[in-house]
Amino acid sequence: MTDGGRDAFGGEEALFEKSPEEDAAEFASTKNSEMLIGEFRSHGVNIVTEEDRVVNWRGRRRRRRRAGIAYGTNKSQHYMEEGRGKRKTSRICRVERVTHKRMGVGSDRMRGMRKRRSRFAVLVLALLILAWVAGSALGTGRATEKGIRLKDVPVPMRDGVVLRADVWLPKEEGRFPTLIYRTPYGKGDAQKDWSTFAKAVKHGYAVMIQDVRGRYASDGEFTPYQNEGKDGYDTIEWAAQQTWSDGSVGTFGLSYPGAVQWLAAVESPPHLKAMVPAMTFSTPRNFFYSGGLFDGSWLEWIWLNIAPDTRKRKNLAGPKTDEEAEASWKKEHEQMEGFLPLAGLPDLKEVAPYYYQWLAHPPADAWWNWAELRNKYDRVHCAVLNFSGWYDEAYGPDGATTNFSGLLAARKGDKDPRTYTVIGPWTHGGQDTSKSGERDFGPTAAIDYDELILRWMDHFVRGVDNGLDREKPVRIFVMGKNQWRDEEAWPLQRAREKWLYLGPNEGTKGRGRLEEQPEKSLAAASTFISDPAHPVTDIYEKYGAHDYRALAGRDDVLVFDSEPMAKDLEVTGPVQGVMYVSANVPDFDLWVRLLDVAPDGMAFNLMSPGLDVLRASYREETVEPELLEPGRIYRLELNRMLTSNVFLKGHRIRVQVSGAFYPHFSRNLQTGESEIVSAESRAGRITIYHDGSHSSRIVLPVIGR
């Protein structure tokens, strides 16, 4: 241990050496160790391990290592294991003393100083050892001009598994409101990718960035989402008890780091004051599945984001770096995505056994209750800012609006329900840009995500009166007009339903009309072919607004267009599709997509795929599929579509109908057997009815202007 100073002579004297392999428990209790760390932190003492780890870094620069050689005064001993070439490190803690910064000190004065130091060393030796023991428990760290950073701080979970986090602290002394970010993507990469952490520290927060269980620096087995409730609770409560925390905790993060917040919040951690879960889900039925279809993007997510680190941890064959995974995905993704049956795919058997567990449980199975949020809002006691984009992955806007409405219902009667929602025109994680796909929404579309988070935390974690509680709780971006607007509620109370009926258009193959009056004919219908072996395929790889005019006129796609708008028409809120259908196969998937068609023919989608599909056998959301009787007419309701868009004067509203939109979701084999366990498929003829008795329609929430 050193006092953080160094004189012109660079004199040092080792007072004590202790190997962690020896029993350190005889020197300290956890409680005393934490107390001593706080004391040493305020007195400039550095705690150094064999790896040059500094827990208390006042005025000290973190040392560097190259090629396994330790630089600096910490003389870590390295040796090569004979016959194996494997490097090991002898774990030694050197307790070092550095003379004060003085010039021209005489020899007698130096001897006197050494005697006093020896007596002082005898008196405080045990205290120094206690601090070192605590230092081993607190991880490594370094000081910067912007604050203090602890690395790989161990956080024990209730089952004994240790997760690790980096902790960033302001340079000032004291206890701080604490923000927590938990990720499966590597806390080191997160610190490079996001500016939020540094800004929060500058704002006066302690920030904790943690690898979730089984990922990167954390111990345990990674099973996506299933441990995040209890682990999140334990992490929040652990952080609140630390000497650097004032006990008020907030959480933030986007996508998986957004989901972990909800899963922890429903466990009711007492010290959680606020959270900003961005672009995440409300129910596994619209997350792992959607409309009864298994979400095909999980395959890519695992391969690119999860599998490389897992292979390294378990020494499994296959790509172990991001670059290798990306290269192999480009070569193999078509084979992997098209593999049938889904449960027979060999590629993830070792690296992701949970993938096959997901496949084994249909969306309405009670097994998924651990991930269901919609029946647990009364367990959430913190302030919640919901956040998503219209072109986010389908679960995002559905999650933001469903969770917002659910919290309002659970907190009915509260003077301040403490829940808001913000939805922009963005794709997943694209909130700092003005474009989504090929559509540019202007300079106001991008937001300062960091500022959004910190303003929320300032008010609900720190208690700052920044006017947030006097603002309207809903903020949405209205596409087409490209304007932000604040609202009192969601859905908008002033919205009025507008029904547009599907109708035929004689002489035009695959094209029909959208009309304000239903068809009076008793025999009106449109048909299309759905062939799982040759599914309708998305021609774009990335989410966002794209031009889908090329899909019109195909045998496997129907389109229904309105007349050009005589004036601007705003559609904001939940959109419903009511379709009367029959088929000559026992099951099929029905896609009903809403598009904005410009005068030049460009046809932009208004949401990402997933909200606009329903499996016919899942129409009642039952665990077991309810197959169709050939030729019988069924009413199918698609009620999860969402948007806010102004169809400008001269534009048309288009409804696009098909039996697939591959590869986003799994293909219905149309045999009555599941694609999860079967590979045989059957082409089918699907009929959409729009006669006087079966008025298929789209129901739009129209806002008067």
Tokens representing 373 are: 């949020």
Identify whether the C-beta of residue 178 lies closer than 8 Å to the C-beta of residue 248.
yes
- Alpha carbon distance 637, 397 (integer Å): 19
Q: Which of 203, 271, 428, 664 is catalytic?
A: 428
| First-last CA distance in the chain | 71
- Alpha carbon distance 147, 140 (integer Å): 14
Peptide bond into 518 cis (omega under 30): no
List the one residue out of 258, 173, 272, 268 whose CA is nearest residue 212: 258
Annotation says 255 is catalytic: yes
Three-state SS for 145-179 is: CCEEEEEEEEEECCCCCEEEEEEEECCCCCCEEEE
Identify whether the C-beta of residue 689 lies closer than 8 Å to the C-beta of residue 521.
no
Identify whether the C-beta of residue 669 lies closer than 8 Å to the C-beta of residue 615.
no
Return the sign of the alpha-carbon dihedral for residues 639, 644, 646, 652: negative
Three-state SS for 469-491 is: HHCCCEEEEEECCCEEEEECCCC
- Alpha carbon distance 439, 441 (integer Å): 6
- Alpha carbon distance 191, 176 (integer Å): 20
Identify whether the C-beta of residue 79 lies closer than 8 Å to the C-beta of residue 1.
no
Strand segments, DSSP code E, in 356-479 are 383-391, 419-427, 435-436, 439-440, 474-478
Tokens representing 296 are: 């095909």
Q: Which of 166, 392, 538, 561 is catalytic?
A: 392
Identify whether the C-beta of residue 428 lies closer than 8 Å to the C-beta of residue 405.
no
CA 542 to chain centre: 18
- Alpha carbon distance 553, 550 (integer Å): 8
Identify whether the C-beta of residue 256 lies closer than 8 Å to the C-beta of residue 186.
no
Annotation says 612 is catalytic: no
Residues pairing with 54 in the sheet: 48, 141
Identify whether the C-beta of residue 319 lies closer than 8 Å to the C-beta of residue 307.
yes
Place of tokens 């058997």: 349
Tokens representing 354 are: 């949970």
Identify whether the C-beta of residue 521 lies closer than 8 Å to the C-beta of residue 692.
yes
Identify whether the C-beta of residue 402 lies closer than 8 Å to the C-beta of residue 374.
yes
Could you please report the per-residue DSSP string of 91-119?
--EEEEEE--S-SS--HHHHHHHHHHHHH
- Alpha carbon distance 325, 302 (integer Å): 10
How many CA atoms are closer than 13 Å to the CA of 297, on its beta-carbon side? 16
Annotation says 392 is catalytic: yes
The type of residue at 166 is D
Return the sign of the alpha-carbon dihedral for residues 684, 690, 692, 697: positive
Tokens representing 69 are: 């050689």
Identify whether the C-beta of residue 585 lies closer than 8 Å to the C-beta of residue 575.
no
The angle, 0 to 180 degrees and rounded to 10, between the axes of the packed helices 228-240 and 256-265 is 80
DSSP label at residue 467: S
Q: Which of 218, 255, 644, 681 is catalytic?
A: 255
Residues in the chain: 705
Give the active site residues: 255, 392, 428
